Amino acid sequence: MEGFVELTLPDVAIALLFVGVVAAVSALNRLFLEKGLLVGTVRTFVQLLAVGYLLKWIFGLDRWYAVLAAIAAMVAVAGYHGARRVGRGAGRAAVVATAAILLASVLVILLLFGAIIRVEPWYNPRYLIPLAGMIVNAAMNGASLGMATFANSARTNAGRLEAALAAGASSRTAARPYVREAVKTALIPTINTMMTVGIVQLPGAMTGIILAGGAPTAAVLYQIVIIYMIAAAAAASTMAAVLWYSRTFFTSAHQLRAEPA
């Protein structure tokens, strides 16, 4: 296996020039993106550097409780940020998103490490944390987009929902078309990625294995498994989140709420 080429802070500084070019173009064209680029650049550096040192500590500790605590933190942060898209009623949405992300992630992780990637020990942080991060991220994106789409549809079509309820439909029946629309919309990015993976881009996991000196064929097999797991996590999380979240728009008497509970 070929040696891994390590980068240094001066190398990162050179890469920063690319962001500087984008900022300069924004300033010249009065796009006013400079502040966002600055904040994003600083946050990227600080967050990833902090995570790098944290993972180094967890890898050195090599204890199951530290690994599970890291994954629990991922799920909690994902649930909070996943609910921010819905606007009003984000508090309840955060609970729903966290529960859906946790459910989907646990199911997929158990399948992945129980039947496919059988490492020893089972909590091996070099495998479990990176792969769990990908799965949780996919679950977050699906749940977030699904809930936001349903919230927008429900608010836009409040009159139609009330008419269906007045005609005797249950809240589940009245909301069904908007639930389906939300789930389909949320899964479009995942399906598009599956359609173009390997042609338009080389995914991150595959690229990382190749950069680390692994054989391209081995990297491909890993990436195929990861793509399938990501798709499963996104689908499970989206369906669970949208179904649970849609219920918060109705009372127990099948009446449309002014705002989600």
- The residue behind tokens 């802070």 is 9
Is it the case that residue 105 has pLDDT exceeding 90? yes
The pLDDT of 179-208, averaged and rounded, is 87
**Would you say 162 and 256 are in contact if contact means Cβ atoms under 8 Å apart?**
yes
| For the chain, percent of residues with pLDDT exceeding 70 | 95
Tell me what the pLDDT averaged over the chain comes to: 91
pTM above 0.85, yes or no: yes
Helical packing angle, 34-61 and 125-156, nearest 10°: 140
Q: What is the pLDDT of residues 38-62, one digit of tens each?
A: 999 999 999 999 999 999 999 999 9
Is it the case that residue 201 has pLDDT exceeding 80? no
For residue 1, name the pLDDT band (cuts at 50, 70, 90).
very low
Q: What is the pLDDT of residues 67-98, one digit of tens each?
A: 999 999 999 999 999 998 887 767 889 999 99
Q: Within its chain, how far is the Cα of 171 from the centroid?
A: 29
Q: In the chain, helix, strand, coil percent, each to 5?
A: 80, 0, 20
| For the chain, percent of residues with pLDDT exceeding 90 | 77
For residue 149, name the pLDDT band (cuts at 50, 70, 90).
very high
- For position 3, what pLDDT does the model report? 60
More confident residue, 249 or 211: 249
- The residue behind tokens 């949208």 is 242
What residues does 197 pair with on adjacent strands?
201
Is it the case that residue 23 has pLDDT exceeding 80? yes
Domain parsing of the chain, residue ranges: 1-61, 64-247
